[in-house]
């Protein structure tokens, strides 16, 4: 089950479950669409994987399976992945 992390790892922007602006890789590294597209060129700086739109969990399912509250942030910011 996806963790649905609450923020962008680069800029710390809030990314609640209902947003369509969250991007994730296969390891669930999470970024906002702005950082993913303009800074990272849709490539995860952690693993080099593709960043895609994170699905939204239906509201009824959030009660039983809530989104994560653990924030992950790169204090030094994000640099594009090295190919």
Asked, for residue 81, whether it belongs to a domain, the answer is no
Q: What's the total number of domains in the chain?
A: 1
Asked, for residue 55, whether it belongs to a domain, the answer is yes
Neighbours of 80 (CB within 10 A): 11
Asked, for residue 69, whether it belongs to a domain, the answer is no
pLDDT at res. 23: 98
Asked, for residue 33, whether it belongs to a domain, the answer is yes
pLDDT at res. 46: 92
For residue 82, name the pLDDT band (cuts at 50, 70, 90). Answer: low
For residues 5-13, average pLDDT: 96
Asked, for residue 48, whether it belongs to a domain, the answer is yes
The model's pTM = 0.89
Instruction: Give the pair of three-digit tokens for residue 35.
Output: 């950082």
CATH number reported for the structural domain that contains residue 23 in this entry: 3.30.40
81, pLDDT greater than 90: no
Domain that holds residue 33: 1-64
Asked, for residue 70, whether it belongs to a domain, the answer is no
Q: What is the dihedral of CA 73, 31, 18, 21, to 10 degrees?
A: 140
Q: Tens digit of pLDDT for each residue in 22-54? A: 999 999 999 999 999 999 999 999 999 999 999
Asked, for residue 43, whether it belongs to a domain, the answer is yes
pLDDT at res. 75: 79
Cα(49)–Cα(79) distance, integer angstroms: 14
């Amino acid at each position: 089950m996806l963790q649905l992390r609450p923020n962008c790892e680069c800029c710390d922007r809030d990314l609640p479950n209902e947003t369509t602006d969250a991007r994730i890789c296969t390891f669930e590294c999470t970024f906002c669409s702005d950082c993913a597209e303009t800074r990272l060129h849709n490539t995860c700086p952690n693993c080099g994987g593709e960043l895609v739109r994170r699905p939204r969990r239906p509201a009824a399912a959030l009660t039983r399976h809530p989104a994560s509250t653990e924030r992950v942030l790169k204090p030094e910011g994000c640099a594009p992945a090295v190919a």
